[in-house]
Amino acid sequence: MKTIYNAAHSLHRAAHEFFRGEKVPAFEKPERADWVLAAVQRTNLGEIIAPAPHGDGPILRVHSKPYVDFLRSAHAEYLALGGTGDAFPAAWPIRGMRSDVEPKNFAARMGLYSFDSGSPLTAGTWAATRAGADCALTAVDLLNAGERSVFVLTRPPGHHAGRDFFGGYCFLNHAAIAAQALRDSGCARVAVLDVDYHHGNGTQDIFYDRGDVFLASIHGDPMTEYPFFLGHADETGSGDGLGANLNIPLAAGSPVESWFAALDHALSRIEAFRPDALVVSLGVDTFEGDPISHFKLKTSDYPGIGERIAQLKLPTLFAMEGGYAVAEIGDNVAGVLQGFERA
């Protein structure tokens, strides 16, 4: 399996995030990708290649133009106003307020285009996530040229980013950009399988009313787990998309057996959808040692995920999402990919 590696990932380097009112070192850090790259090399997964530039077009199929324009210039604007370091939002248009008017004020626009204060917008955020989109699109080109599977190794992650908002460490939704590009290059139906610990609320936002892209997400129950306000089982899609959204929330602390039962259910629903290609939002924060998540998978469980996904026999794009146990992230990701290759 080829890896498309985003060498620009390290341009996104947040100094801190906020946790319980305290400034703490950011969990989503450059070392994450370095350790995954080392594991890809160590296990001889396959060739490691650089992304080819694809322009704004395929990004704008998924994200709104005002949002993309904002992201591109946000940090420079912040600096011009006298900001130092990373930018954080501090005010949001909650129920009863207007989100249909884009204010001129920078802090107001930070709030309009985000849903949490946990996602530092840094000097290199745009360059890093934009290169991540190029990686996803380069991977789609390879699938279209006949590759069976491709791994997109990028950060920051993407699955919390919606049509016009960032949050949960995510800015552009690389998995959604890939799914849309697969549609636009001839796949009639595409499935997205999100195995990150956190619900893929951004991906759900983007495809919720569409019947051509099926989303299955297995995640910590939003009643107690981030992102809290989406990811319940009764969210099944709307309009043309009714029935094309599957959420499987599991209680924090759920046993490994429950997680694999959820995976089998998700895979059978994907199979019934008869997609032409699969995009996997590959987070490994389901690991027992993850510092911000509460499932119990062990390193030895990860190959089984890849083996099961391979049974679908679909052209498959794996896009890197979360996983914050830095010392184990490489083995866990490589385990999934090797399991897929072996099957």
**Which active-site residues does the annotation give?**
160
CB proximity list for 145: less than 8 A, separation 6 or greater: none
Structure tokens at 238: 């709307």
Nearer to ligand OKP, 19 or 229 (CB): 19
Q: Does 326 contact ligand OKP by CB under 6 A? A: no
Task: Name beta bridge partners: 318.
Answer: 151, 280
What is the contact surface with Zn ion in residues (CB under 5 A)?
A: 196-198, 283, 285, 322
Task: Name beta bridge partners: 16.
Answer: 25
Residue 259 Cβ vs Zn ion, minimum distance, rounded to whole Å: 14
Nearer to Zn ion, 111 or 323 (CB): 323
Residue 194 Cβ vs ligand OKP, minimum distance, rounded to whole Å: 9
Nearer to ligand OKP, 21 or 186 (CB): 21
From 19, 90, 242, 298, residue interacting with ligand OKP (rule: CB under 6 A): 19
Residue 283 Cβ vs ligand OKP, minimum distance, rounded to whole Å: 5
Structure tokens at 54: 């694809």
Q: Does 67 contact ligand OKP by CB under 6 A? A: no
Nearer to ligand OKP, 130 or 198 (CB): 198
Q: Does 221 contact ligand OKP by CB under 6 A? A: no
Q: Is the distance from CB of 110 to CB of 164 less than 8 angstroms?
A: no
From 58, 132, 283, 306, residue interacting with ligand OKP (rule: CB under 6 A): 283
Residue 123 Cβ vs Zn ion, minimum distance, rounded to whole Å: 24
Residue 143, number of CB atoms within 10 A of its CB = 23
CB proximity list for 253: less than 8 A, separation 6 or greater: 294, 295, 296
Q: Does 301 contact ligand OKP by CB under 6 A? A: no
Q: Does 169 contact ligand OKP by CB under 6 A? A: yes
Q: Does 198 contact ligand OKP by CB under 6 A? A: yes
Residue 338 Cβ vs ligand OKP, minimum distance, rounded to whole Å: 22
**How many residues bind to ligand OKP according to rule CB under 6 A?**
14
Residue 295 Cβ vs ligand OKP, minimum distance, rounded to whole Å: 12
Task: Name beta bridge partners: 167.
Answer: 170
Q: What phi and psi, each to the nearest 5 degrees, are found at residue 317? A: -110, 120
Measured between alpha carbons, how far is 278 from 335 in angstroms, rounded to an integer? Answer: 19
Q: What is the DSSP string of 46-110?
A: --EEPPPP--STTTTTTS-HHHHHHHHHHHHHHHHTT--S-B-------TTS--SS--SSHHHHH
- Give the rounded distance of the alpha carbon of 171 from its chain centre: 9
Measured between alpha carbons, how far is 280 from 200 in angstroms, rounded to an integer? Answer: 11
By a kind-dependent CB cut-off of 5 to 8 A, residue 168 interacts, out of ligand OKP, Zn ion, none, with: ligand OKP
Residue 175 Cβ vs Zn ion, minimum distance, rounded to whole Å: 13
Q: Does 196 contact ligand OKP by CB under 6 A? A: yes
Q: Does 174 contact ligand OKP by CB under 6 A? A: no
Interface characters, 225-264, with ligand OKP (x: CB under 6 A): -x--------------------------------------
Measured between alpha carbons, how far is 115 from 94 in angstroms, rounded to an integer? Answer: 10
User: Tokens 């787990």, residue?
Assistant: 225
Structure tokens at 49: 């290649």
E strands of the chain, at which residues? 2-5, 16-19, 22-25, 48-49, 149-153, 190-194, 213-220, 245-250, 277-282, 316-320
Number of residues in the chain? 343
From 157, 241, 275, 306, residue interacting with ligand OKP (rule: CB under 6 A): 157
Nearer to Zn ion, 303 or 322 (CB): 322
**Site of interaction with ligand OKP (CB under 6 A):** 19, 118, 157, 160, 168-169, 196, 198, 226, 283, 285, 292, 321-322
